[in-house]
Amino acid sequence: MPFVDDETDHQACATCPSLRFERADFTTMDRPSALAPFRAEDGYRYLQGVPVCVHPGRIGLFPEHISPPPRPLEELAPPRAARPRRTWWPFGRRP
């Protein structure tokens, strides 16, 4: 029997493993993370082969795993090339 069913008042996500698995068959994490990648084949995130719920507060649970802090944006974005400085005259053509 799933952990969350129609008789409970929890607001589980549509792809939450709690809708399909018993409590012993999935784990919880405080938020989505690269540690638990999403698999499009079945719609779940997995942490070491175990389905993961990433919004445990919605189903009345506490997170069992804490995600690492996100990487700074400077690490994620490619470096920007320096653009040449444009010279312009604010009043139209230069005299």
pLDDT digits (tens, 9 = 90+) for 11-60: 888 889 988 999 999 999 999 988 899 999 999 999 999 999 999 988 88
DSSP secondary structure letter of residue 36: S
| pLDDT value for 92 | 59
Cα 22 to Cα 68: distance, rounded to the nearest angstrom: 27
CA pair distance 31, 13, nearest whole angstrom: 13
Mean predicted confidence (pLDDT) in 61-81? 81
List the chain domain ranges: 1-65
Helices (H) and strands (E) in the chain, counts: 1, 4
Higher pLDDT, 10 or 59: 59
Q: Let me know: does 56 contact 66? Beta carbons within 8 Å.
A: no
pTM of the model: 0.67
Predicted pLDDT of residue 88: 67
Name which residue leads in pLDDT, 95 or 2: 2
